[in-house]
A and B are shown apart, each in its own frame.
Chain A
Amino acid sequence: MASEKTINPNAIAFPEFAASLPGHDILWLQAFRNRAAQSFSHTGFPTVRDEDWRYTNLSALNKTLYAPTESQEVDSDWLATLRVPNAWCVVLLNGRFSVDLSDLTDMPAAVRVQSITQALVENPARLQKYLGQAVVENLHAMLVFNNAWFSDGVFIEIPAQTTLAKPLQILQVATEENALAATRNIWLLNENAAAEIIETFAGSAENYLTVAVNEVFLAADAHLTGYKVQLEAETATHFGGVYLQQAERSRFEHHNFALGGLVARSDIYCDLETGAECTLNGLAVGVKRQHLDNLTRINHLKPRGVSREYYKTVLDQRARGVFQGRVVVAEHAQKTDSQMNNRNLLLSADAEVDTKPQLEIYADDVKCSHGVTVGQLDEKSVFYLQSRGLDATSARNILTFAFANEMVEKVENVELKELLRTQLLAHFPAISL
């Protein structure tokens, strides 16, 4: 097929790196990676011609080779500021599991938390059963890119009837310019298992690329509380995809905070079986020229599923936000109960948000609603605060913080809540309380 597409440097370089990627000697994985590399060499990164990427232009990525790095350099003081207290911690440094920086002290032996690299050595059959099973292989070019390039990740398996005694933080950091931090994470929560997992993304270098893909399998009655705290460096590009298979009556509660990065995109896909529940909360705060894109897709496949989605965006200066929320209720998914709400606050005339809520309903006995607002600060509220003696700037700052803080308040982990509040204020210095 003749093509006028840009030749992507990573597409060219793949054969050179393939042998250094984990599982390169495992045939099924080799085939999986090669299929992906082949596909990616035709497409490059997603373009705005792809419907799910139409608001997010990644063409700039095609100019640089983002290479996996073995670098283990990291400023430990900086790293410490990102740690959530009273939690186990796995550090993925430049896309590789760092045993030295991780802390899994007293993790019960029955709970498996290990690197994907290690898991591929110890139990490749287990990984083969799950890798690439929570999401269609060629969903989009960014996922395909991850299929080819992931250099490590975390494999978690929690036995049935087991509740993790404290949260597990997965801290993904990049410390090298032009680094590729591509991770594949597979989490299994067996029947009636429960866990709280906090993902934090951050970087101390320029112009790196994070591509993290999580495949999550919740067995019947399992309960996962997930947090994503995206604090990537100012010039970084971030993609994080979370793809869930939710069995009967399983529950997923997710809080997604997008504060960092130059261009950042989140995917969250939930497939709900009978009586499963998901709650998706999100906050994106963009300043300067940041571009923050959140896409969610909730598939109600079977009856009596419940989904609650609440996403907020705050944009100042020339920042741009995207919200694409899609709920699909399959023909047999009767008694589905679904609510979607997206609220956007624009603080400057140059800020822009594109919001696209979509409901596709094929069942006839369901309760579904969605609502979207885009607006500025309410002048009546500003005046109310002024009439109590606060100057106009403080009044606006308080109202902006209050709008964003609603999502922080939903976080039950008090230590994380404190950390989020600090990060929110640091990211958005106009707000000072």
Chain B
Amino acid sequence: MLSINNLHVSVGDKPILKGLSLEIKPGEVHAIMGPNGAGKSTLSHVLSGKAGYTVTEGSVSYYGRDLLEMAPEIRAREGVFLAFQYPVEIPGVSNIYLLKAALNALRRHHGEPEVDAMDFLTLVKAKVKLLQMDEKFLYRAVNEGFSGGEKKRNEILQAAILEPKLCILDETDSGLDIDALRIVSEGVNSLRSSERSFLMITHYQRLLEYIKPDVVHVLAGGRMVRSGGPDLALELEEKGYSWLEGQAA
């Protein structure tokens, strides 16, 4: 579904990604680990279409189409979802308003009618329950005054409503205590299916105990320096990243 080939990305004059390649098939869960400054967040931003990044070489193909050509909102409507490392607070816009506007934008894109108000409420309430959130959250402004854990849960709630094909989790575990991590992970696991793929970006192995990946990659110096099974994460936990950084070109 997603094929990244020899991707080079710069911010200003500074190259960040230097020939990154990655292949994800439907239903697979990939974890990308790596030290700070390796380019992990850059990868998630480039895939979701954030401005400020220049692709100097390489390609990203999403279901056979050039992902980099698409506007951010088109990517979203085509099923690419980014769970932000730092979800943005939007005072004055209620959660439920955003959820409905987003779902309807997606449905219109696919030629479907807008969602019925009652059906929508039923759907949202079910998902809220799944993520063990208080229904009051729906009527609060998006992420405003939310704790770190609440923000991350809210991201997963959005994913649960929008049902993406590719879900990118950018440091979803950062800032979470153990209970919040468990709840968020359960939410993510409930979304796993044979069709839906995940790209999990994380600094720590901890998250992978809760969400079992199929493939683990190590990103260092702007490239994948190692790929392997879940065991690779354990090895990293033991040895740190320094033994791999030397291998970055």
The answer to the question of B88 belonging to the interface, with a C-beta cut-off of 8 Å to chain A, is yes
**Smallest distance from the beta carbon of A128 to chain B beta carbons, Å?**
48
Within 8 A of A (CB), among B50-96: 50-51, 71-73, 75-77, 81-82, 84, 87-88, 90-93
B102 touches A389 (CB 8 A): yes
Closest B residue by C-beta to A409 = B92
Within 8 A of B (CB), among A382-420: 383-392, 394, 398-399, 401-403, 405-406, 409
Residues of A close to B102: CB separation below 8 A: 388-390
B93 touches A389 (CB 8 A): no
Interface size (B, Cβ < 8 Å)?
Answer: 28
The answer to the question of A51 belonging to the interface, with a C-beta cut-off of 8 Å to chain B, is no
In-complex Cβ contact of A384 among B51, B87, B92, B162 (8 A): B87
Residues of A close to B84: CB separation below 8 A: 384, 387
A387 touches B82 (CB 8 A): yes
The answer to the question of B34 belonging to the interface, with a C-beta cut-off of 8 Å to chain A, is no
Contacts A383-B50, A384-B84, A387-B82 given; indicate if A392 touches B92 (C-beta within 8 A).
no
A402 touches B82 (CB 8 A): no
**Smallest distance from the beta carbon of A108 to chain B beta carbons, Å?**
38
B90 touches A390 (CB 8 A): no
In-complex Cβ contact of A406 among B76, B92, B109, B158 (8 A): B92
Residues of B close to A403: CB separation below 8 A: 91-92
In-complex Cβ contact of B90 among A384, A386, A392, A394 (8 A): A384
Say which size band chain A's interface belongs to: 20 to 34
B73 touches A401 (CB 8 A): no
A387 touches B72 (CB 8 A): yes
Closest A residue by C-beta to B98 = A388
CA distance A384 to B82 in the complex (A): 9
**Smallest distance from the beta carbon of B101 to chain A beta carbons, Å?**
6
Contacts A381-B88, A398-B101 given; indicate if A386 touches B76 (C-beta within 8 A).
yes
B92 touches A386 (CB 8 A): no
Contacts A383-B72, A398-B101 given; indicate if A389 touches B162 (C-beta within 8 A).
yes
CA distance A421 to B92 in the complex (A): 13
CA distance A406 to B106 in the complex (A): 27
Residues of A close to B51: CB separation below 8 A: 379, 383
Residues of B close to A390: CB separation below 8 A: 73, 101-102, 105
CA distance A403 to B92 in the complex (A): 6
**Smallest distance from the beta carbon of A424 to chain B beta carbons, Å?**
12
Residues of B close to A392: CB separation below 8 A: 71, 73
The answer to the question of A49 belonging to the interface, with a C-beta cut-off of 8 Å to chain B, is no
Closest A residue by C-beta to B79 = A389
Among A391, A401, A403, max chain B CB count under 10 A is at A391
Enumerate 23 A-B pairs (CB-CB under 8 Å) in ascending A order: A378-B88, A383-B50, A384-B87, A384-B88, A386-B49, A386-B76, A387-B50, A387-B75, A387-B81, A387-B84, A388-B102, A388-B162, A389-B73, A389-B77, A389-B102, A389-B109, A390-B73, A391-B105, A401-B92, A402-B90, A402-B93, A403-B91, A403-B92
Apart from the given pairs A387-B76, A390-B73, 12 other A-B contacts in the complex at a CB distance below 8 Å: A381-B88, A383-B51, A384-B88, A385-B98, A387-B75, A388-B102, A388-B162, A389-B73, A389-B76, A389-B102, A391-B73, A406-B91
Chain A residues within CB distance 8 Å of chain B: 378-381, 383-392, 394, 398-399, 401-403, 405-406, 409
